A and B are shown apart, each in its own frame.
Chain A
Amino acid sequence: MERYLRNHDAISASEQTLLATKRVLVVGCGGLGGYVIEHLARIGVGHLRVVDGDVFEESNLNRQLLSSTMNLGRPKTLAAQQRVMAINPLVKTEAFQTYLTAENAGELLAGCDLAVDALDNIPTRLQLQQSAKESCIPLVHGAVAGWYGRVCVIQPGDDLLDLLCPPGCELSAEEQQSGTLSFTAALTAAWQAAEAIKLLLGKPALDGEILEIDLLRASVEKIKIKKTPN
């Protein structure tokens, strides 16, 4: 198919066919989520389920790909669905204008091969980790703050977020003071999308490691991390 010609041979024909059968849940359609959805739709993931209860505000315009001056006040999930339809109508999109909660997480994850954490707060991220574990679905985590980004893959039971967000830290994350920059979100989301595609295709992905991106110093560190036995 000509649409996917430039995916080859980085993605083989059989892998392309395989991607079309996959369903990915993207939780959050803001700075990270907008770019993640863009990449997954363009590469040809067959089904995207996008979740966000928020609407666009003017303060989103500095970084959120799906936001524009034309859709302020409108649901982020609607913009995501329209964007996917415009760039790749072969991708089926389900949009849920809601926030992920303990009550709805199981339903949102049902039938998905993978989930992407593109959220903006620690409590909901921890809930998603817990629900993905219960559903036995791998989770690709991404977070940003100012010039810094982070990506890791959380396999069911890894609970890596517990290490990154110890109890009591829920309300004090860095980005509340340092903001979020467009290129940081774009790069971090691109890395999340790459990890997602590798997982969907059964290729080796990040495993017990976190990728620390520092755009201010132009460096990337891959740090081994393991859960404390307790």
Chain B
Amino acid sequence: MIKVNTDDHPWQSGMTVRNLLDEKVFTFRHIIVRVNSEYVPEEDYENYVIQDGDDIIVLHLMAGG
């Protein structure tokens, strides 16, 4: 099991950040991903492998006022 923001989410061996974003249907064009507080750049989404128990934060990049 992994944690995504405030929710528990099933973990699968070999799952990548990209797999997770697809599963969770995060559709925003600009997303910030942190795994255990570490920033994951977009170019690493395909290769960054999530481990069981990881704490993942997925946020929209927004700055409007």
Interface of B is mostly: loop
Contact check, B28 vs A174: say whether CB atoms are below 8 A apart.
Answer: yes
Q: Count the A residues whose beta carbon is within 8 Å of the partner chain — how many?
A: 40
Q: Provide the B54-65 mask, 1 if CB < 8 A to any CB of A, else 0.
A: 000101111111
Known: A169-B30, A212-B5. A142 touches B65 (CB 8 A): yes
A204 CB–B CB distance under 8 Å: no
Q: How far is the CA of A210 from the CA of B38 in the complex (A)?
A: 17
A175 CB–B CB distance under 8 Å: yes
Q: How far is the CA of A157 from the CA of B56 in the complex (A)?
A: 23
B37 CB–A CB distance under 8 Å: yes
Contact check, A145 vs B6: say whether CB atoms are below 8 A apart.
Answer: no
Contact check, B61 vs A163: say whether CB atoms are below 8 A apart.
Answer: no
Q: Which residues of A contact B60 (CB under 8 A)?
A: 145, 148, 150, 174
Contact check, A172 vs B30: say whether CB atoms are below 8 A apart.
Answer: yes
Q: Provide the A162-188 mask, 1 if CB < 8 A to any CB of B, else 0.
A: 011110010011111100100001000
- A163-B32, A166-B39, A173-B64 given; name 10 further pairs at CB < 8 Å: A31-B64, A33-B65, A118-B65, A120-B64, A142-B65, A144-B62, A144-B65, A165-B63, A173-B62, A180-B65
Can you spell out 29 A-B residue pairs with CB atoms less than 8 angstroms apart? A30-B65, A31-B64, A119-B65, A122-B63, A125-B63, A143-B64, A144-B65, A145-B64, A150-B60, A150-B62, A163-B32, A163-B39, A164-B61, A165-B63, A166-B32, A166-B41, A173-B63, A174-B29, A174-B30, A175-B62, A175-B64, A176-B64, A180-B64, A180-B65, A210-B59, A212-B59, A221-B5, A221-B6, A223-B59
In the A-B complex, the 6 residue pairs with the smallest Cβ-Cβ separation, listed nearest first, are: A175-B64, A145-B62, A120-B65, A173-B63, A32-B65, A180-B64
